[in-house]
Structure 1
Amino acid sequence: MDLVEVLANRLHMLRFPIGQAYLWQDGEALTLIDAGRAGSAAEIERAIRSLGRAPEQLERIVLTHCHRDHVGAAGELAARWGARVLAHRLDAPVIRGELPVPEPVLLDWEIALYAHGLTVPEAPPTRVDRELEDGDDLGFGDGAYVVHVPGHTDGSIGIHLPRHGVLFTGDCVAAVGPLMLGVFNVDRARAIAAFGRLASLAPSIACFGHGDPLTENTAQALAKAATEAATTG
């Protein structure tokens, strides 16, 4: 796992072989956005300590959606350090193991890529301490708000920190190669609309579930990519 600074003294990316998570710092309080694959709790703890912080300072884990490469270590971290797990109401039953993970509607070119993603271990059933809705304040980042962006999954969310100009897109948007609509969507049309909603927030920094964060000309690049996605379908 690689630890990459995105915003000095505030935001780091934790990059795994497939997917990534983000660590936000509010003084002594820590928030993890997504939690990597199952079995990565020790790596995440080491990353926290390498920043001069302690895992006990992890107050919350916000899950952008229910997929295994985002939920994986959340339950173990929460059990060990007392963090609360937050996820949208519509994905919470999947995260808890009460419902199956929804199957995406794959485009032809996504089939082999999807099979590669399944090499990530399945996430164990994980408790959800708070079920989220669109517009909820998450309690960190001087105001971090839920943006419900269904399409990748029914309960996919973005997280917007307007005072810092930061947007976490989850897997609605990807930056692996050109900036683009995320893959493996349960409803492509809704995902395209969700992309447009996220782009309309015009952030200065965009953090994706896959691909490096965008820190320059971010609003313009998101708007252009969202328009292209809406045009091509």
Structure 2
Amino acid sequence: METIEITPNLRMLRFEVGQAYLWRDGDELTLVDTGPAGSGPGIAAAIREPGMGRHRLRRVVLTHFHEDHAGSAAEIGAWGDVEVMAHRLEAPVVRGEAPGPPPVLEDWERPIRDALPPLPPAPPARVDRELEDGDLIGFGGGAVVVATPGHTDGSLAVHLPAHGVLFTGDTVAHMEGQVMLGVFNLDRARAASSFRRLAGLDVRTACFGHGDPIVEGAAERMRAVVRDLPA
């Protein structure tokens, strides 16, 4: 796992597949996504780098149930006083109470999917708070939940208006310098509609589930590709 500082209070944790983000408010930490199963030790080490400890982690926000995002939620949720959050529609899948529907792959997506390394399934994890569109979460000066159905039914993004930061989950990707609609969607048209909604937000910095963050001018970069999205 690689740790990359984006801003003084924001770090990206990059795994072999996907990434998570660590946000710092004073002596409290918030983790957006958890990486694949088994990522706990690497995340704990990343927390120690700025002189903190895992007891400072107050909450985990899952953007969706896929194994590269929720794989270590069970492990990290057992660290102590950690509140695990997911959208209401994702919560049964995260808990292991319902199967997660597979994506509907475009023909051109199949070789991309086949080339990825296999990941272990995400162990069932508790969800302490079920989120809805517009809910507020107590970090980053008031984080706003933005429902982004399409990649999965209960995908969500997290917007920090006070900082101009957006965590997009897998609705938006940034690959080889190109901002694009994320791949492997359950409903590509709904995902495109969610992309349009995110592009309309006042955002300076965007943090993606896949690809390097954009630190400045993220909203403009997303708006530039809206016209090319599927209807």
CA contact (8 A) 1:196 1:227 kept: no
Quote the Cα distance in structure 1 between the aligned partners of 2:74 and 2:182.
25
State the alpha-carbon separation in 2 of the partners of residues 202 and 185 from structure 1: 25
- What one-letter code is carried by the residue in structure 1 that aligns with 2:98? L
Partner deviation per Cα, 1:142-171 (whole Å, 9 max, x = no partner) = 010000010000000010000100000000
- Paired position in structure 2 for 1:129: 128
Superposed, 1:199-218 pairs within 5 Å as 199-218=199-218
Aligned residue for 1:89?
A: 88
Return the letter of the residue paired with 2:226: A
1:114 matched residue in structure 2: 113
Partner Cα separation in structure 1 for residue 216 and residue 29 of structure 2: 25
Could you tell me how far apart the structure 2 residues matched to 1:53 and 1:228 are?
Answer: 43
One-letter code aligned to 2:144: Y
| CA displacement at 1:11 relative to structure 2 | 0.4
SS in 1 for 2:22: strand
Take 1:85 and 1:227, find their aligned partners in 2: how far apart are those partners? 36
- Specify the alignment match of 1:50 in structure 2: 49
Query: Where do 1:143-154 residues align within 5 Å?
Result: 143-154=142-153
CA offset digits 1:25-54 (Å, max 9, x no partner)? 000010000000100100000010011111
Measured in 2, the distance between the counterparts of 1:220 and 1:79 equals 40
Q: Alpha-carbon deviation of 1:118? A: 6.1
Quote the offset at 1:116 in angstroms.
Answer: 3.8
Residues 1:5 and 2:5 are matched in the alignment: yes
Matched to 1:110, the amino acid is E
Shift of residue 7 of structure 1? 1.3
- Secondary structure, counterpart of 1:82 in structure 2: coil
Which has the larger helix fraction? 1
Distance 1:120 1:82 in 2: 28
Question: Partner letter of residue 101 of structure 2?
Answer: P
Residue 227 (structure 1) shift: 2.3
| 1:74 CA displacement | 1.2
Alignment check: 8 A CA contact 2:161 2:202 kept: no
TM-score (norm 1): 0.96
Could you list the per-position Cα deviations for residues 171-219 of structure 1 after superposition, in whole angstroms to 9, with x for gaps in the alignment? 0001122110000100111000000000000300000000000112211
Measured in 1, the distance between the counterparts of 2:226 and 2:101 equals 24
Which residue of structure 2 aligns with residue 78 of structure 1?
77
SS of the residue aligned with 1:56? Answer: helix
**1:228 maps to what in 2?**
228
Percent of pairs identical after alignment? 55
Q: Which ranges in structure 1 are unaligned for 5 or more consecutive residues?
A: none
Partner of 1:196: 196
Partner of 1:142: 141
2:59 is aligned to: 60
Contact 2:203 2:217 in 1 (8 A): no
> 1:181, 1:226 within 8 Å by CA — same for their partners in 2?
no
One-letter amino acid of the counterpart of residue 111, structure 1:
R
What is the identity, as a one-letter code, of the residue corresponding to 1:48? I
Question: 1-side partners of 2:13 and 2:155: how far apart?
Answer: 20
Unpaired runs of 5+ residues, structure 2, are none
TM-score after normalising by structure 2: 0.97
Structure 2 residue matching 1:168: 3-state secondary structure = strand
Q: 1: CA distance between counterparts of 2:120 and 2:34?
A: 13
